[in-house]
């Protein structure tokens, strides 16, 4: 099948129209006709080869929702016409301890949808059946794409870290991932602090569920909430004063990053030792948890705030995100 896509031919370049042929479908694979695809900051990092693992031409796009149009003989649980989603991962080995334990996102042989293969800024995309997740009835497809990367990436650590409804929590960086974290944590029952470097967002953040808004770059504001938070989720990729954030944690609090901070994070041992604090990180989440998150979103009517662009306006969309103008997730309509 010929796929009509948009690809970066070289690192940092604008995307151009790009056609490629998908080989005959494998027994366990599923072809999806793309309806919508979110634009994640990781797409920008892949286009710019920030992580050194990009292969060009590169078709970004890993927050995909669409419809099954073809499937191999051994695909389980899906049929033609099903409405589905596909996120960062599109394949894993299915036999290592992690896969057998339902933690396919931790498989060392997992394959990224846009790492060495072509993603969802296209009319079609292919994935292994295990990662092609059926959408629950009643979900709004025009807003569901970002749940498959940004959404599950912030939902997973809330579950993983055992965040309680009685907890006081903070989210650093209120962009695509951060605003979904605010909405989830509000629904979880927590008292939520948004750490932003852009106070112009304050009203919007309060509407989304932030009880408090703190300037992430103002050490006095950070000092004023010292010792108060049980859990902080970082969604930025920039160097921050991590010690100041650890100081805002209560004893046994946790600082967790999903933001792919490009520089090493400097964490003095004593900022963890006194107060039994910890620092961690995580990639997306399991397939089973992705399904549970989708149900949670339908039950609580939680969707990302999206700005829709046409797929052919992908370069405008990328510039919009790059310039810090996205409020809060850009979605491309195929
Ligand atoms: N762990 C994972 O598996 C995973 C999955 C998806 C995305 N990511 C990463 O998460 C990060 C965020 O992705 P996104 O799509 O939400 O990006 P985004 O650009 O939509 O959001 C980042 C936000 O951080 C804000 N920010 C920048 N500097 C700040 C500062 N000093 N203080 C507070 N806020 C600041 C920006 O204004 C922006 O709103 C990226 O690094 C991305 O690669 C990781
Ligand atoms: Zn992503």
pLDDT at residue 174, as a whole number = 97
**What pLDDT score was predicted for residue 197?**
95
Q: Which two tokens mark 229?
A: 């938070």
pLDDT computed for residue 187 by the predictor:
97
- Cα 175 to averaged position of ligand 1 atoms, centre (Å): 6
Ligand 1 close to Cβ of residue 105 (< 6 A): no
- Give distance in angstroms: CA of 186 to centre of ligand 1: 19
Residue 260 C-alpha to ligand 2 middle, in angstroms? 10
Q: Answer whether 180 contacts ligand 1 (Cβ < 6 A).
A: no
pLDDT on residue 198: 93
* Residue 152 near residue 285, CB atoms below 8 Å: yes
Q: Is 324 in the pocket of ligand 1 (CB under 6 A)?
A: yes
Token duo for residue 275: 């107060």
The answer to whether the CB of 92 is under 6 A from ligand 1 is: no
Beta bridge partners of 20: 3
**Atom 3, ligand 1: residue with shortest CA distance:** 283
pTM for the full predicted model: 0.98
Instruction: Kindly report the protein residue whose alpha carbon is nearest to atom 11 of ligand 1.
Output: 259
Does the beta carbon of 170 sit less than 6 angstroms from any atom of ligand 1?
no
- What are φ and ψ of residue 190, in 5° steps? -80, 160
Residue 264 Cα to ligand 1 middle (Å): 16
Binding site membership of 214 for ligand 1 (Cβ less than 6 Å): no
* pLDDT number for residue 100: 98
pLDDT tens digits in sequence order for the chain, 334 residues long:
999 999 999 999 999 999 999 999 999 999 999 999 999 999 999 999 999 999 999 999 999 999 999 999 999 999 999 999 999 999 999 999 999 999 999 999 999 999 999 999 999 999 999 999 999 998 999 999 999 999 999 999 999 999 999 999 999 999 999 999 999 999 999 999 999 999 899 999 999 999 999 999 999 999 999 999 999 999 999 999 999 999 999 999 999 999 999 999 999 999 999 999 999 999 999 999 999 999 999 999 999 999 999 999 999 999 999 999 999 999 999 9
Instruction: Please name the residue whose Cα sits nearest to atom 32 of ligand 1.
Output: 197
Given this model, what pLDDT does residue 145 score? 98
Q: Which domains does the chain have, with CATH numbers?
A: 2-149+285-333 (3.90.180.10), 152-281 (3.40.50.720)
pLDDT for the residue numbered 261: 96
pLDDT per position as a tens digit, 219-261: 999 999 999 999 999 999 999 999 999 999 999 999 999 999 9
Site to substitute for ligand 1 among 54, 237, 248, 331, most atoms within 8 A of C-beta: 237
Residue 116 is predicted with a pLDDT of: 92
């Amino acid at each position: 099948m010929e796929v009509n896509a948009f690809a970066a031919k070289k690192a940092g370049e604008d995307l151009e129209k790009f056609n490629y042929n998908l080989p005959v479908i494998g027994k366990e694979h599923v072809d999806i006709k793309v309806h919508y695809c979110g634009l994640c900051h990781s797409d920008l990092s892949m286009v710019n080869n920030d992580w050194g693992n990009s292969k060009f031409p590169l078709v970004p796009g890993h927050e995909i929702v669409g419809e099954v149009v073809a499937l191999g003989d051994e695909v389980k649980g899906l049929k033609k016409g099903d409405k589905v989603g596909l996120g960062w991962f599109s394949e894993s080995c299915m036999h290592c301890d992690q896969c057998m334990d339902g933690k396919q996102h931790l498989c060392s042989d997992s394959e990224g949808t846009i790492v060495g293969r072509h993603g969802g800024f296209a009319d079609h995309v292919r994935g292994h059946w295990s990662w092609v997740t059926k959408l629950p009835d009643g979900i709004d497809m025009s807003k569901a794409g970002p749940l498959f990367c940004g959404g599950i990436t912030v939902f997973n650590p809330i579950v993983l870290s055992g965040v309680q409804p009685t907890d006081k929590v903070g989210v650093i960086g209120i962009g695509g991932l951060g605003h979904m974290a605010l909405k989830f944590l509000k629904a979880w029952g927590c008292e939520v602090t948004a750490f932003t470097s852009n106070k112009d967002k304050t009203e919007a953040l309060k509407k989304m569920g932030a009880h408090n808004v703190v300037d992430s770059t103002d050490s006095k504001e950070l000092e004023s909430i010292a010792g108060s938070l049980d859990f902080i989720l970082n969604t930025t990729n920039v160097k921050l004063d991590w010690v100041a954030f650890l100081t805002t944690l209560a004893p046994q609090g946790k600082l967790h990053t999903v933001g792919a901070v490009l520089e090493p994070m400097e964490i003095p041992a004593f900022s963890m030792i006194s107060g039994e604090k910890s620092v961690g990180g995580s990639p997306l989440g399991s397939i089973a948890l992705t399904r549970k998150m989708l149900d949670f979103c339908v039950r609580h009517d939680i969707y990302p705030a999206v700005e829709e662009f046409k797929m052919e306006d992908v370069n405008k969309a990328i510039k919009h995100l790059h310039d810090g103008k996205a409020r809060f997730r850009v979605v491309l309509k195929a």
